[in-house]
């Protein structure tokens, strides 16, 4: 939506919390160092923050959709220690090939498909072209590019492997950051640089 609000869409595992390969329970969730403060500074600047997470562990039967609310409550509680908040959490429980009905379908929400970004656009009046996608995998970069957003690849989680994957596939993130901390610094510079050439 042109003229809409700016959002930062954050991948969850390996970007906001440590990658543990199919996180199944709240006690497995640990924030990446600095994630709380970084998200808080987006909140303070009036920028929307939304999680967009592929959770094919649901389709694969590693956890159920009913397990996700308590995991996300833990995530929100951890962020609250830094007085940080997420405006929305979107997830895709599907997988095109693996698992059981009703989840083993080709959906429009599994990244790199753009369904979760489109829902954010609709739900919150977001201008996707002025928005940002931050993640540790090639699909995070691809989904951002597909809607004209600015993309940041972080080197936490699977990030280091993703660098080579992106190069091989000719997919170029706008910025590569050691972690969400530097990703948010970059985003704030991008947004404010547009008004203030002295910074």
Q: Which residues are catalytic?
A: 11, 13
Distance of CA 52 to the CA centre of its chain: 5
| Of 94 and 137, CB closest to Zn ion | 94
Strands (E) located in 22-177: 48-54, 88-92, 132-135, 150-154, 175-177
Q: Contact between 14 and Mg ion (CB under 5 A)?
A: yes
H/E segment holding residue 76? helix 68-80
| Of 176 and 191, CB closest to Mg ion | 176
What is the token pair recorded at 41? 């500074």
Shortest distance, CB of residue 105 to Zn ion, whole angstroms? 8
Residue 14, contacted partner among Zn ion, Mg ion, none, CB below 5-8 A by kind: Mg ion
Q: Contact between 95 and Zn ion (CB under 5 A)?
A: no
Residues 111-170 that bind Mg ion (CB under 5 A): 136, 157
Shortest distance, CB of residue 11 to Mg ion, whole angstroms? 4
Build a one-symbol-per-residue string for 148-187: x at contacts with Zn ion by CB under 5 A, - elsewhere: ----------------------------------------
Q: Contact between 13 and Mg ion (CB under 5 A)?
A: yes
């Amino acid at each position: 939506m042109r003229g809409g609000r700016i959002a930062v869409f954050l991948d969850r595992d390996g970007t906001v919390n440590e990658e543990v390969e199919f996180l199944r329970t709240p006690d497995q969730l640990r924030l990446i160092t600095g994630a709380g403060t970084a998200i808080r500074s987006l909140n303070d600047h009036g920028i929307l923050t939304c999680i967009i997470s592929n959770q094919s562990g649901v389709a694969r039967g590693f956890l159920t959709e009913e397990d996700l609310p308590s995991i996300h409550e833990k995530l929100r509680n951890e962020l609250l220690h830094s007085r940080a908040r997420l405006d929305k959490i979107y997830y895709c429980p599907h997988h095109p090939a693996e698992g059981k009905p009703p989840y083993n379908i080709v959906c429009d929400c599994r990244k790199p498909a753009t369904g979760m970004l489109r829902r954010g656009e609709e739900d919150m009046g977001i201008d996707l072209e002025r928005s940002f996608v931050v993640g540790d995998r090639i699909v995070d970069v691809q989904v951002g590019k597909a809607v004209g957003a600015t993309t940041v690849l972080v080197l936490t989680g699977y990030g280091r492997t993703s660098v080579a994957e992106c190069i091989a596939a000719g997919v170029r993130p706008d910025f590569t950051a050691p972690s969400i901390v530097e990703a948010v610094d970059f985003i704030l510079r991008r947004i404010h640089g547009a008004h203030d050439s002295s910074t």
